[in-house]
Chain A
Amino acid sequence: MIPEIALFLLILTGFFALLGVLFPLLATVKNSPQLRKYTWPLTYGAAVSVTLSISLLAYSFLVDDFSVLYIAQHSNSQLPAFFKIAAVWGGHEGSLLFWVFSLALWAFAIAVINRRRKGQFISHVLVVMNLLILAFVLLTLFTSNPFLRLLPMPFEGRDLNPMLQDVGLIFHPPLLYLGYVGFSGVFAFAAAALCQPQSTFPWAKQSRGWALLAWTFLTAGIALGAWWAYYELGWGGWWFWDPVENASLLPWLTGTALLHSLTASEKRHALIRWSLLLAVFTFCLSILGTFVVRSGVLTSVHAFAVDPTKGLLLLLLLALCLVVPLTLFANNYGRFKVGRLRSFYSREVLFLALNSLFAVTTLTVLLGTFYPMIFDAFNLGKISVGAPYFNALFVPLTLLAFLLMGCAAFINWGKSKLDKKRLTGALILSLLAALLIFYLLTEGTDTLVILVLLSTSWVIITPFFKLHFIKRLFKNSAMTIAHTGIAITAIGAALNAHNSSEISSKMGPGTQVVLGELSIEYIETQWVIGPNYSAEQALLFITDQHNKDYQLTPQRRHYPVRVMNMSEPAIKSLWNKDIYITLGEKIDATDYAVRIQKRAFTNWIWLGTVLMIIGGLFALLKRFPPLSRRNGENDEQ
């Protein structure tokens, strides 16, 4: 009975959304504020009913209702409870329901925050949100209903894919989706702005907060995904330039550009067209990301469901989200005028350059990701585009971006005179810092590492050379923290690629190997019984040059329900390196192939992403108190 109630609630969500589209539109036609007011409760209704629906699905997972096909396919009575919750979004059907859920949550949040601004503009924003909710409800209902029953009811479920049974994977998809879907809010603001007859209204100001929140979620989601891939997959890598990873990087790139562009639009009424287009493209790239994961058009290790029909509908939705706003944009192109530029040395020009750079980077990643597919479609043969290509093009573009980021300290809005003394000071200090890091932390020489160190030092050092640095410490904090974060991630990534080393060796009780300054001794093999797996575990002692001891226990797990063997690496994380040990295949009765890796500076990569997230949160923190104060004023439209 409960799955049927949940299904009914999902259908109800669709009806709320449908009415949430019709009422405000009717209100606009009839010019009736009374009718418009219904938009808000309808939006709340959609959010409440889909929340109840997904909660009931989670409840059915918890009580092991294997009569539901989706649950029988993704759960098992032996599965720990928190993985049962994670399994709600662990498969295709559930993840689409989660899309609807997060869409409704964002619509709810937009409605609540703007509850005192019951004008036409916000109601149109909610129309776009409700349209999207309706589209995704229909997609879920007709192609991927998670509440379908299975007869006869199986005694036991097929279990969640062991790869997904991990803390990182509980939080990675929801954060990523909240990020993806979060940009729907910005998209809705932009689409509503495009329909607005007058052009000067604070849509940039109103949508920037949503862009920041979505960006923070997306950054956290991508970082968590990279972290999960690092410690769960057992290869020691953290970014593979796989199509699915690229698909999440694309909206992040345009979203980052959007954040900057919106600042220019909000503060200086500049780059309005850029902001509008970036808002549209960012959400479209989010849908494209979902399409890539869900349709299986691109060969990827992460392609979870291969079903062309679902993909086709998503593609249709993507086309609509792209064509309608772009047509509106083309029709009203002349309306979005920007003010006169006063000087070449202005932040407006800097941000234009930055936007262009991000656009080129996005298009490059897009080109590399889809080139093999297009190539194949034209019968030109099969080729692969992978890490070497992306690194060769992405890294120089990133270095260029770092160069511009540092310049932000010396260039202000409107007009600025270059302060040569401060500029020289910053240049000299960042050169020294780069040399110091190079001398202390790097083994051997590598031009690329030197270039990365130089440009990142420039990013980290320049904020200190800003005019009135101390006075504006708080005002600039969010940007400084986020910029420092991406610089630290870049240093970590460069040194990780350059300083890492590894060794593969046949090991059994009593054997010993040496990797650089580390000495690794295999003590014994142990057996472990987990809740839904059994494992062989190696106990290893590691001694470093300071005679410090570490104990590591990599495992090989067997999950009987899915008949899958998984290697669970063991990691000792230090400030400048990770000792990363994978228990490979069994070679004879007592010995395994053991892969020991020294992954340099991995922690710096994570530290950098944490700083980026803190930067995003800081920017939000500065934003929301004045926003709530503004709510006191009545409608700005």
Chain B
Amino acid sequence: MMRFWLYLTLLFSSLVTAGEVNNTPLNSVFAPADSEQVKQVETFAFKNSSEQTRAINLARELRCPQCLNQNLMESNSPIAKDLRLIVYQMVDKGKTNTQIIDFMTSRFGDFVLYNPKFEARTYLLWLGPFLLLLVFAIVGIVVVKKAMLGKEH
């Protein structure tokens, strides 16, 4: 019942405000974002388009540490926006991708990297596919050779 009244009130208030002069904010629901971060990150002015591309691509490769499974570009959570701003600012200061990635992993661990590092514990991950390709190729060749010799197999 409460929900219904809330709904009605909201609908009514939006109807009322819709008719008003369009300079005033609609209602509390669409209030301006009070965080300065949002403003900075959404309207970040890059020096040039190549820097912008680098920053966006880098932000896409970093995982938002709090979200389910979203990168810094996609997520709307405050922490993702904060981190995105940090990436933008570091790119703007001329930091290299490695420096930015090192900074991020030192704070949040390897979890934030969508592109896992090539190291002992990820050998299987990176080399596994090549190993599989090799195994399938060898077995395939052996099977074909046998099938060409024998009558049936």
Task: Name A's B-contacting residues (CB within 8 A).
Answer: 155-156, 233, 235, 237, 240, 242-243, 299-301, 303, 337-344, 349, 352-353, 356-357, 359-360, 363-364, 367-368, 371, 375, 380-389, 393, 397, 501-506, 524-527, 529, 534, 536, 556, 558, 560-561, 565, 584-590, 593, 595
Of B15, B56, B116, B121, which one neighbours A384 at CB under 8 angstroms?
Answer: B116
In the complex, A301 Cα to B143 Cα: how many Å? 43
- With CB as the reference atom, state the residue of chain B lying closest to A525: B22
Q: How many Å from the CB of A52 to the closest CB on chain B?
A: 33
The answer to whether A386 touches B61, judged by C-beta atoms less than 8 angstroms apart, is yes
Contact between B112 and A384 (Cβ–Cβ < 8 Å)?
yes
B26 with A300: CB separation less than 8 A = no
Given contacts A504-B42, A558-B30, 16 further A-B contacts (CB under 8 A): A240-B74, A300-B68, A339-B152, A340-B148, A341-B147, A363-B128, A364-B132, A380-B121, A382-B109, A383-B111, A387-B60, A387-B71, A501-B49, A529-B14, A534-B29, A586-B33
Q: Which of A338, A343, A357, A386 is in CB contact (< 8 Å) with B63?
A: A386
Q: Is B90 an interface residue (CB 8 A)?
A: no
What is the CA–CA distance of A385 and B23 in the complex, to the nearest angstrom? Answer: 46
Is B129 an interface residue, CB under 8 A from the partner?
yes
A337 close to B152 (CB less than 8 A): yes
Main secondary structure of the interface of B (DSSP, over half): helix
Residues of chain B in range 48-76 having any CB-CB distance to chain A below 8 Å: 49, 52-53, 56, 60-61, 63, 67-71, 73-74
Are A389 and B14 in contact (CB-based, < 8 A)? no
Cα-based distance from A527 to B152 in the complex (angstroms): 74
Please report the C-alpha to C-alpha distance between residue A389 and residue B116 in the assembled complex, in whole angstroms.
7
Question: Shortest Cβ distance from A367 into chain B, in angstroms?
Answer: 5
- Nearest residue in B to A76 (C-beta to C-beta)? B7
Is A527 touching B18 in the complex (CB atoms < 8 A)?
yes
Is the pair A235, B125 in contact by a Cβ cutoff of 8 Å? no
Within 8 A of A (CB), among B93-148: 109-116, 121-122, 124-126, 128-129, 132-133, 136-137, 140, 143-144, 147-148
B151 contact set on A, CB distance < 8 A: 340
Q: B22: shortest Cβ distance to chain A, in Å?
A: 6
Point out the residues of chain A lying under 8 angstroms from B61, CB to CB. 386-388
Cα separation A501 to B48 with both chains bound (whole Å): 13
Chain B: CB-nearest residue to A380? B121
B11, B14, B26, B121: the one within 8 Å of A375 (CB): B121
A382: chain B residues at CB < 8 Å are 109-111
Q: Which residue of A lies closest to B121 (CB)?
A: A380
Contact (Cβ within 8 A) A561 B110: no
B residues near A349, Cβ cutoff 8 Å: 144
Asked, given contacts A385-B114, A389-B114, A502-B56, whether A155 binds B144 with beta carbons under 8 Å apart, the answer is no
Q: Nearest-CB distance from A532 to chain B (Å)?
A: 9
Find out whether the CB atom of A527 lies under 8 angstroms from the CB atom of B116.
no
Q: Report the minimal beta-carbon distance from B21 to chain A, rounded to whole angstroms.
A: 12
The answer for the CA separation of A558 and B27 in the assembled complex, in Å, is 11
Decide: A386 near B110, CB < 8 A? Known: A364-B132, A504-B42: no
A593 to B23, CA, bound (A): 17
Task: Considering the complex, give the chain B residue whose CB is closest to the CB of A590.
Answer: B23
Q: Residue-by-residue, is B28-57 near A (CB-CB < 8 Å gives 1, otherwise 0)?
A: 011111000011001110000100110010
Does the CB pair B32–A588 fall under 8 Å?
Answer: yes
Complex: chain B residue closest to A589, CB-CB = B25
In the complex, which residues of chain A have a beta carbon less than 8 angstroms from the beta carbon of B122?
Answer: 371, 383
Q: Is the CB of B133 within 8 A of A360?
A: yes
Q: Are B42 and A584 in contact (CB under 8 A)?
A: yes
CA distance A272 to B56 in the complex (A): 48
State in angstroms the CA–CA spacing of A241 and B1 once bound together: 42
Residues of B within 8 A of A397 (CB): 129
Asked whether A337 lies within 8 Å of B125 as measured between CB atoms, the reply is no
- Given A363-B132, A584-B42, is A344 in contact with B60 using a C-beta cutoff of 8 Å? no
**Across the interface, do A384 and B114 meet the contact criterion of CB distance under 8 Å?**
yes
Contacts of B6 in A (CB 8 A): 560
A590 to B32, CA, bound (A): 9
Q: What is the CA–CA distance of A502 and B44 in the complex, to the nearest angstrom?
A: 12
Q: Could you tell me the distance in whole angstroms from the C-beta of A524 to the nearest C-beta in chain B? A: 7
Residue of B nearest to A392 (CB): B115
Interchain residue pairs with CB less than 8 A apart (13): A233-B74, A235-B73, A352-B140, A359-B136, A360-B133, A364-B132, A368-B125, A380-B121, A384-B113, A561-B3, A586-B31, A588-B32, A589-B24
Q: Is the CB of A585 within 8 A of B43?
A: no
Chain B residue with Cβ nearest A337 = B152
The answer, among A235, A243, A502, A587, for a CB contact under 8 Å with B38, is A587
- Bound-complex Cα distance A337 to B110 (A): 49
Q: What's the Cα separation between A495 and B27 when bound, in Å?
A: 42
CB-defined contacts of A383 to chain B, threshold 8 Å? 110-111, 113, 116, 122
Complex contact A341–B152 (CB within 8 A): no
Measured in the bound complex, the distance between the Cα atoms of B111 and A586 in whole Å is: 31
Q: Bound state CA distance, A388 and B62, in angstroms? A: 10
Distance from B46 Cβ to chain A, minimum over Cβ atoms (Å): 9
- In the complex, which residues of chain A have a beta carbon less than 8 angstroms from the beta carbon of B42? 504, 506, 584-585, 587, 593, 595
Chain B residues within an 8 Å CB radius of A389: 114-116, 125-126
Query: Which one of A299, A337, A504 lies within 8 Å of B43 (CB-CB)?
Result: A504
B144 touches A344 (CB 8 A): yes
Q: Bound complex: CA of A341 vs CA of B151, how far in Å?
A: 8
Q: For the complex, give the distance between the alpha carbons of A114 and B139 in Å.
A: 38
* Shortest Cβ gap from B68 to chain A (Å): 5
Alpha-carbon distance between A357 and B61 when the two chains are bound, in angstroms: 27
Assess the A367–B128 pair: CB atoms within 8 A. yes
CB neighbours (8 Å) of B25 from chain A are 586, 589
The list of the 9 closest CB pairs from A to B, nearest first, reads: A386-B114, A593-B42, A388-B115, A341-B147, A356-B136, A534-B14, A527-B18, A364-B129, A506-B43
Q: Is A593 within 8 A of B43, CB to CB?
A: yes
A571 to B93, CA, bound (A): 34
Bound complex: CA A558 to CA B14 (Å): 10
What is the CA–CA distance of A397 and B129 in the complex, to the nearest angstrom? Answer: 10
Instruction: Please give, as numbers and ranges, the residues of chain B lying within 8 Å of A529 by CB-CB distance.
Output: 11, 14-15, 18
Is B147 a contact partner of A558 (Cβ separation < 8 A)?
no
| Neighbouring B residues of A526 by C-beta, 8 Å | 22
Give chain A nearest CB distance to B64 CB in angstroms.
10
Cβ-closest chain A residue relative to B57: A388
Question: For the complex, what is the distance from the CA of A385 to the CA of B121, rounded to whole Å?
Answer: 13
Which among A300, A338, A586 is the interface contact of B69 at CB below 8 angstroms? A300
A343 to B74 Cα, complex, angstroms: 52
B109 pairs with A381, CB closer than 8 A: yes
* Chain B residues positioned under 8 Å from A565 (CB to CB): 29-30
Q: Bound complex: CA of A65 vs CA of B32, how far in Å?
A: 38
Chain B residues with CB under 8 Å of A242's CB are 69
Contacts of B68 in A (CB 8 A): 299-301, 303
Contacts of A356 in B (CB 8 A): 136-137, 140
Distance of A35 from chain B, by nearest CB (Å): 37
Instruction: Point out the residue from B22, B112, B137, B148 that lies within 8 Å of A341, measured CB to CB.
Output: B148
Contacts of A393 in B (CB 8 A): 129
Residues of B contacting A233 with CB < 8 Å? 74
Complex: A385 Cα to B124 Cα, angstroms: 13
Check B63–A340 contact: CB distance below 8 A: no
In the complex, the answer to whether B32 meets A352 with C-beta atoms within 8 Å is no
